[in-house]
């Protein structure tokens, strides 16, 4: 229902703005980072790092573009290497140090992961959301959302200067995605940006799952991901062969 509402909002924005404004927007596909989104022109790309909740340093990339006073960005954080870091951290743990080892069921990192790496992945959405909640801004909406049936959180904030920020925080195949659009007071919501969020496979085809995808379950392969369509073609569970859909 939220997905339909977002699409309707984007359509309304297109109807209200000038043709020139609409023509400046285009869809950009980033195969390397597995996503697609509309930007008002080619984005700048910067490599950076992200410090996770459990203090792991992870590679990240920021895509950003602006149109006048409007600002749009996508931050992609790669959690796929956190297991290796967790195992290395575990080796440095004092014997029996639960807070570092991460075992609660008698197996080696079975529930929490060595060095709590699994908990870091499970909590990535909450941690990224916390960073928005800590801003000097008023939260006006916060809800569970999904794009292409991939679980995420939607946040609306009114900033001190009365500009508005709309953020979508999601995770797919152990990558964290933070989509953020900010517009000045009196401007339409950045719905053109947010409603265009999607995921792509290794050939750039858009992915849409046939059932609910949660990275905390499917990204960690507690259960195989649901079947999905890529480029309009029905695919089996992307984890059936041990490989993710990109």
pLDDT of residue 192: 85
In angstroms, the CA 209 to CA 223 distance is 14
User: Can you give the residue ranges of every domain in the chain?
Assistant: 2-80+118-235, 83-114
Report the 10 Å Cβ neighbour count for 156.
16
Q: What secondary structure does DSSP assign to 177-243, as a single string?
A: EEEEEEE-TTSPPSHHHHTT-EEE-TTS-EEEESS-B-IIIIITTSSPPPPEEETTEEE--TTTTS-
Per-residue pLDDT reduced to its tens digit, 170-226: 999 999 999 999 999 999 988 889 999 999 999 999 999 999 999 999 999 999 999
Question: Which among 177, 170, 167, 168 has a CA at the least distance from the CA of 78?
Answer: 177
Record the pTM. Answer: 0.85
Q: H or E element: which one contains 115?
A: none
pLDDT of residue 237: 58
Burial letters 4-17, b for 16+ CB under 10 A, else e: eebeebbeebeeee
* Distances in whole angstroms, Cα of residue 131 to Cα of each of 28, 35, 51, 177, 198: 26, 22, 12, 14, 23
The pair of structure tokens assigned to 84 is 């290796």
pLDDT of residue 245: 45
pLDDT of residue 132: 97
CATH number of the 2-80+118-235 domain: 3.40.1000
The pair of structure tokens assigned to 48 is 């950076």
pLDDT string in tens for the chain (246-residue length): 333 334 334 444 444 444 444 448 999 999 999 999 999 999 999 999 999 999 999 999 999 999 999 999 999 999 999 999 998 988 888 877 766 766 555 455 468 888 889 999 999 999 999 999 999 999 999 999 999 999 999 999 999 999 999 999 999 999 999 999 999 999 998 888 999 999 999 999 999 999 999 999 999 999 999 999 998 899 875 444 334 444
Q: Is 184 left (phi over 0), alpha (psi -120 to 50) or beta?
A: beta
């Amino acid at each position: 229902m939220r997905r339909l509402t977002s699409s309707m909002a984007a359509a309304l924005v297109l109807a209200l703005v000038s043709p020139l404004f609409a023509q400046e927007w285009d869809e950009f596909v980033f195969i390397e980072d597995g996503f697609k989104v509309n930007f008002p022109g080619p984005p700048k790309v910067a490599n950076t790092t992200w410090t996770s909740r459990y203090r792991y340093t992870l590679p990240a990339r920021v895509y950003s573009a602006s149109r006048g006073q409007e600002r749009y960005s996508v931050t992609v954080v790669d959690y796929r290497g956190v297991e290796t870091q967790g195992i290395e951290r575990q080796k440095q743990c004092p014997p029996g140090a639960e807070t570092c080892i991460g075992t609660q069921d008698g197996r080696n990192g079975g529930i929490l992961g060595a060095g709590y790496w699994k908990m870091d992945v499970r909590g990535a959405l909450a941690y990224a959301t916390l960073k928005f909640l800590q801003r000097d801004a008023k939260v006006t909406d916060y809800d569970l959302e999904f794009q292409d049936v991939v679980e995420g959180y939607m946040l609306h904030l009114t900033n001190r200067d009365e500009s508005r920020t709309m953020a979508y925080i999601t995770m797919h195949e152990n990558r964290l995605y933070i989509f953020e659009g900010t517009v000045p007071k009196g401007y339409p919501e950045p719905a053109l940006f947010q409603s265009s969020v999607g995921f792509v496979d290794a050939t750039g085809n858009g992915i849409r799952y046939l059932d609910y995808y949660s990275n905390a379950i499917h990204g960690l392969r507690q259960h195989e991901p649901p079947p999905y369509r890529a480029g309009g073609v029905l695919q089996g569970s992307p984890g059936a062969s041990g490989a993710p859909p990109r």
